[in-house]
Structure 1
Amino acid sequence: MQESAGLVFVSLQISHHTSAEIALHINGLQVVQGGLDTDVHRCLTRFQWSHLMPTWRYDVGAVVIEKTIVMPHNQNTVCVVYRLIEGDAATLRLRPFLAFRRQDAVLVHESEWPFTLSFTRGLYEVRRDRTDLCLQFGLAPANDGFTCHEVVGEHALYRVEQGRGYDHSEHLYSPGYFTARLTQGQALTFVATTEGREALQCDGLSAVEHQQRRVERLLQMAPPEVVQDPFSAQLVAAADAFVVVPGSRLEETRQARASGDQIRTVIAGYHWFGDWGRDTMISLEGLTLCTGRHAEARAILQTFSHYVRDGLLPNLFPEGEREALYHTVDATLWYFHAIDRYTAYTGDQTLIAELLPVLKSIIDHHVRGTRYGIGVDPLDGLLRAGAPGYQLTWMDAKVDGWVVTPRRGKPVEIQALWHNALRLMADWSTAAGMPDERYGRLAEQVRTAFNLRYWSPALLHLFDVVDGEPGEEINDVACRPNQVFAMSLRHPVLDRMHWEPVLDTVRRQLLTPWGLRTLAPGHPAYKPTYEGDLRSRDAAYHQGTVWPWLIGHFIEAWLKLHPDRVAARRFLANLPSHLRLACVGSISEIFDAEPPELPRGCIAQAWSVAEALRAWLMTDPDRPE
């Protein structure tokens, strides 16, 4: 987690009486030489993760208290629920500390008090000065009330930010504290929300029960063989965090509701990604189809069709804005793959009929040429792409104007996706009673040119890019995972005679326990670790760093050649343990390329979860053919 993303921290003091009064601070925020002054380790006896909710148990003398955190679905609300498990009673003192800001905003160092507090009938509201941020919080039941007592926790340390070379400490502000008596059978719930005062009426135990029922419903929607396995069942629950209603496109949401349609998108990763076209299409099968959420898969595909411009699917929707950015060559081609996977799972041909005009327009724009130098080379049918200052493939790191892996020219996976899209369009247009022979002709031209241009018998793998920019090597000889897609898609572009040496090279040079490296060791640009400041990290992002999502397509290609699920499952043997290592219950964005192979980047990534689940199901020895 990006530690500075927190909005509200809560300090808890528990008091009870035996022969003498005992007071312990749990989650205390007093800073001592860059650390937190807390006695939590002295009384924490158990941690449990269930139904996407964390629960801590604290033993304080004769008193045992459980704390559960739950975020009600589709609300920007947090409930912290306290329950007395053993003992007659305890007095709690709950002090909220505020860093109340957007997660990507600068840290707070203001010497003057930056908040305005108001309260009415047990409901408390904090506004951040000179912003539109407004937070409501309260305690239910109100009990002994709130004491105004301003405290500044100075220089709270964020160690992850410190390691990245960012500003890494800030002041945390507390306007006062609640005092409440906790008794058997009576839970106390601290609620913080930006949803309005109605959300403060949340009953903590009811919120916990609703969350339990929601997760149970999600598991009931999934195929039985999925939820019978503990790892895949956890991933079904984890997938729920990424499928959302777009937050900023309110007009479209209202229109969809008025017409009875759903509107859905996918958050690419937490805590700093929004909805990205590429990530959404790659993740769609694992997040929605493997989990039985077929209606939402359809809604996602429909939603993105409304945003196609000049034959391109959006790359991303910047946070808080309605206008999308379109600088991507692969997101649009992944759209065809996602539609194909949807129809394979559901048998629903009506969506293709609905989207066929949009899909035809996409192909036409690519043949004629569209934005960012994206277009077909008429000499070989291959798809070229590139524009100065832009990063158009999934290897899209850019810092201070430096595009780390520009890959301008004809990237290998773009040809695989382009060929697959053409073959699918040939099938779909024929099934719709409107056959178009040009799709098949162009696909065959692509296949012929690809096998002449990309296979290297000397390297025993595929070139990563051909026809690069002037001044660069015409063929990029780097061994990268992008070549896997030439075999993994429904319509592989690579001749089968080359599969075994290519997969063997990828296995030897790129495969790790967590996924595939983005560059083979030994290359001059190879970076074994993802650490340091932004420039250092972006230099490693696609230059060796391991991405878990790539394992799905590696295994899909591997099983086509080696249909031994038990052997293929060994490639995934370490992934279940990761659910306990970084973000509990989810899968990180990336890992270092060398031992100890630490998880890095976003703590929970949509396509990491999606492709891990898909790969796990593909390698189930008991799965029917």
Structure 2
Amino acid sequence: MIDIGFGPQVCAELTGGASREWLVPDGRGGYAMGTVSGLRTRRYHGLLVVAGETPASRRVGLASLDASVLLPSGAQVRLGAHEWSSGDVDPRGYELLEHFALVDGLPRWRWRIGDTVIERELAMLPGRPCVAVVHRLVCGGPVRLELAAACTWRDAHGERRADGPTPRMEPVDGGAVIEGAFRLAGPDWTPEGQWWLGVHHREEAARGLPAEEDLWYAGRFAGQLARPGDTVSVLAWADQLDQQPPPATEVVATARRRNRRVVAAARPADSVEATLTLAADAFVVRTGQAPVDVVAGYPWFGAWSRDTMISYEGLFLCTNRATEGRELLRSYAATLSEGMLANTADTGRVEYNTVDATLWFLHAVSRHVTVTGDTDLGDELLPALRGVVDAHLAGTRYGIAVDPADGLLTQGGTPGTALTWMDARVYGVPVTPRVGKPVEINALWINGLAGLAELTELAGQDAGELARLHDRAVTAFRKRFPAPTGWLYDVVDGPAPAYPLGGSPHHDDDLLRPNQLLAWSLPYAPLEPDEATLRRVAAGLLSPLGPRSLSPDSPGFTGRHRGSPAERDGGYHQGTVWPWLLGPYVDACRRGKLPVDELFTGIEAHLTEYGLGSVSETADGLPPHGATGCPFQAWSVAELLRCRRTR
């Protein structure tokens, strides 16, 4: 594991300490999450955030556990941190932090109060919505420690205010049950029951979202720290409320051992791969609805089939989790309808609204069989995969169909839909609708046909028709997509700007975008990369954290992915950097015999800059390429791990 630790110049200063976030997942889609400084900057931050039937239906329970130290002199020193709607930050416990570190992926803080040093460790019980917070006297003392439990019970995407119902508190042995939903337990519990009004979340304010909430001060725990090694611990859990979990120190030890096993099982080549392996583990979950699933990103995303399939090789095959991956592929195959893979939205509804998720699914199954030799799975899924091809030949939802004129895949589109991964909409209008024949969709189609032909032959069946479909599409691709600009068209045969959807004449979009990378990077890519083209693409798109989604000299380029939801969605694919695209870029460079080792420097440094030990969803297209979006993103981690492990 790489060394992730900070001293007082980061911890005790909000610009650094509140902008770096840690994550401890529970393996079910829930988590504990916060900042190095301890300041809650997002409405999603909390020590017990509980997933429902789907990872997206999370609820915040225990928001914070604020420590206060009572010294022998009678002085009280508060170690918590909150920002208020007035603009004040009080208390300012982070100013006493002398060190923060991730140890085996678990956060550890150290506060110094003169000669007294107190350490906090936090872990979640693997597979359960249960958090353990352990405070230990390192040196100095004796002191008395009080821990104030600030609670709520609300949707993670919202707020709760004091003008609504007062939270229900039921006293139980050693603590309380809050709202019948989660339980607190620890030493010397004293119930309180009052609102803390106007807690401010600066990151939500920056994103143009409601930024204030009220928290319920449920009560406080207390204990003596008489000599070094003494502990005061609190547990909070949201299942089996009548059953006490293991002691908090045991929960921490169990989580640490598990994290070490996860890393060791992947046999990483170096400390960066070890860190990425543990980061990848956060996204693999078991929920109430699926035996194995993938959380697209923390803290606000649930499961999305496109993200899952793009991430598949990195999350499962590069970490020696093929058995779990097999479960996942089988469960997703069961969602196929009219040749399309279900895209489970964050609302929990099953929707069929992507053109590429199914094609990435073909790729994931092909890679699984190729890497593991699991031809039994290939044989089992072969009829369903062939059904995908048949449905695309016949035509399926949204005008997705193979064009009989050239064998390429087109998407007719309907008003308000955006079916590729560039799917952002502003006020219901797609920012990049990409109607026609997108370049990466057809690269994936060609790749899928070749992979399926190979699976068919492994099953001892005739793959002649698939080979003919593949060869025809490759011929058409090589003719249609090279553009006079020196790179590939992003979309061909789309409606001209002056015409409505489905209009004529057709328009070929030559804006420089990274989607073309798949035409060179996939295992059965339709084109062989050449150095001149890759250098043109790199000159316009490459940043230290990966390719931009649009070159800076293109109309509509947006260099900062900031502001209100509409502003952010408007720039989501208009120049914003997407780290996951570094994977296809590295693969294309390798196939083109270009050096790649220096491509990892910036993004590896990023592992200590935003979501600690992980890779962000996006970054600004302009320097200094500040990270944006989810701090912990599945396909960003998966693709970096995959392309590093295959060098």
TM-score by length of 1: 0.90
Pick from 553, 559, 563 the counterpart of residue 528 of structure 1.
559
SS of 1:5's equivalent in the other structure is coil
1:548 is displaced (CA, Å) by 0.3
May I ask how many residue pairs the two structures share in their alignment? 583
1:451 is displaced (CA, Å) by 1.2
2:44 maps to 1:5: yes
2:356 maps to 1:330: yes
Unaligned runs of 5+ in 2: 1-20, 22-40, 46-59, 500-505
What is the one-letter code of the residue matched to 1:391? A
2:582 maps to 1:582: no
1:151 is displaced (CA, Å) by 3.3
What is the one-letter code of the residue matched to 1:135? F
Check the 8 A contact 1:330/1:414 in 2, yes or no. Answer: yes
1:124-523 aligned within 5 A: 124-127=176-179, 134-139=181-186, 142=187, 145-184=188-227, 185-198=229-242, 200-223=244-267, 226=268, 228-247=269-288, 249=289, 263-319=291-347, 321=348, 323-385=349-411, 386-456=413-483, 458-469=484-495, 471=498, 474-494=507-527, 496=528, 499-523=530-554
Check the 8 A contact 1:192/1:200 in 2, yes or no. Answer: no
Q: Which moved more, 1:112-121 or 1:431-440?
A: 112-121
Check the 8 A contact 1:529/1:592 in 2, yes or no. Answer: yes
1:445 is displaced (CA, Å) by 1.0
Equivalent residue, structure 1, for 2:502: none
SS of 1:426's equivalent in the other structure is helix
Equivalent residue, structure 2, for 1:623: none
CA distance in 1, matches of 2:98, 2:298: 29
The CA deviation string for residues 54-87 of structure 1, in whole angstroms up to 9 with x for no partner, is 0001122332211011112222222211111113
1:193 is displaced (CA, Å) by 2.1
Distance 1:298 1:183, change over 3 A: farther
What is the one-letter code of the residue matched to 1:560? R
SS of 1:64's equivalent in the other structure is strand
1:317 is displaced (CA, Å) by 4.2
Q: Which moved more, 1:415-424 or 1:427-436?
A: 427-436
CA distance in 2, matches of 1:499, 1:302: 38
The CA deviation string for residues 538-566 of structure 1, in whole angstroms up to 9 with x for no partner, is 01000100000000111011001116xxx
Q: Which runs of 4+ in 1 moved over 4 A?
A: none
The CA deviation string for residues 107-161 of structure 1, in whole angstroms up to 9 with x for no partner, is 223335521111122241111xxxxx7221121xx2xx22232332221111111
Q: Which moved more, 1:309-318 or 1:414-423?
A: 309-318
Distance 1:616 1:85, change over 3 A: same
1:429 is displaced (CA, Å) by 1.2
1:199 is displaced (CA, Å) by 6.0
RMSD: 1.8
2:173 maps to 1:121: yes
SS of 1:545's equivalent in the other structure is coil
Check the 8 A contact 1:34/1:156 in 2, yes or no. Answer: no
What is the one-letter code of the residue matched to 1:5? Y
The CA deviation string for residues 508-551 of structure 1, in whole angstroms up to 9 with x for no partner, is 10010001100011111110000110110001000100000000
SS of 2:533's equivalent in the other structure is helix
Q: Which moved more, 1:327-336 or 1:109-118?
A: 109-118
SS of 2:450's equivalent in the other structure is helix
SS of 2:342's equivalent in the other structure is coil
CA distance in 1, matches of 2:218, 2:378: 56
The CA deviation string for residues 196-250 of structure 1, in whole angstroms up to 9 with x for no partner, is 3256433111111111111111122113xx2x41111100111110001133x2x
CA distance in 1, matches of 2:519, 2:371: 22
CA distance in 1, matches of 2:83, 2:401: 59
1:30 is displaced (CA, Å) by 7.1
1:102 is displaced (CA, Å) by 1.4
1:486 is displaced (CA, Å) by 0.4
What is the one-letter code of the residue matched to 1:395? M
Distance 1:266 1:164, change over 3 A: same
CA distance in 2, matches of 1:102, 1:360: 41
Check the 8 A contact 1:11/1:29 in 2, yes or no. Answer: no
CA distance in 1, matches of 2:279, 2:173: 38
SS of 2:43's equivalent in the other structure is helix
What is the one-letter code of the residue matched to 1:403? P
Check the 8 A contact 2:514/2:581 in 1, yes or no. Answer: yes
Identity %: 36
1:88 is displaced (CA, Å) by 4.5
1:435 is displaced (CA, Å) by 0.8
Check the 8 A contact 1:136/1:200 in 2, yes or no. Answer: no
CA distance in 1, matches of 2:568, 2:544: 21
TM-score by length of 2: 0.87
1:599-618 aligned within 5 A: 599-618=627-646
Check the 8 A contact 1:29/1:153 in 2, yes or no. Answer: no
Q: Which moved more, 1:606-615 or 1:109-118?
A: 109-118
What is the one-letter code of the residue matched to 2:198? H
Equivalent residue, structure 1, for 2:580: 549
Check the 8 A contact 2:123/2:252 in 1, yes or no. Answer: yes
Equivalent residue, structure 1, for 2:91: 38
CA distance in 2, matches of 1:112, 1:307: 40
CA distance in 1, matches of 2:164, 2:564: 30
CA distance in 2, matches of 1:342, 1:426: 15
What is the one-letter code of the residue matched to 1:583? G
The CA deviation string for residues 586-625 of structure 1, in whole angstroms up to 9 with x for no partner, is 1110000011111000010000001111122234xxxxxx
Pick from 579, 601, 622 the counterpart of residue 594 of structure 1.
622
CA distance in 2, matches of 1:78, 1:208: 9
Check the 8 A contact 1:193/1:199 in 2, yes or no. Answer: no
1:341 is displaced (CA, Å) by 1.7
SS of 1:585's equivalent in the other structure is coil
CA distance in 1, matches of 2:225, 2:397: 62
SS of 1:354's equivalent in the other structure is helix
Distance 1:485 1:300, change over 3 A: same
What is the one-letter code of the residue matched to 1:190? V
What is the one-letter code of the residue matched to 1:402? V
1:41 is displaced (CA, Å) by 3.4
Q: Which moved more, 1:22-31 or 1:369-378?
A: 22-31
Check the 8 A contact 1:420/1:493 in 2, yes or no. Answer: yes
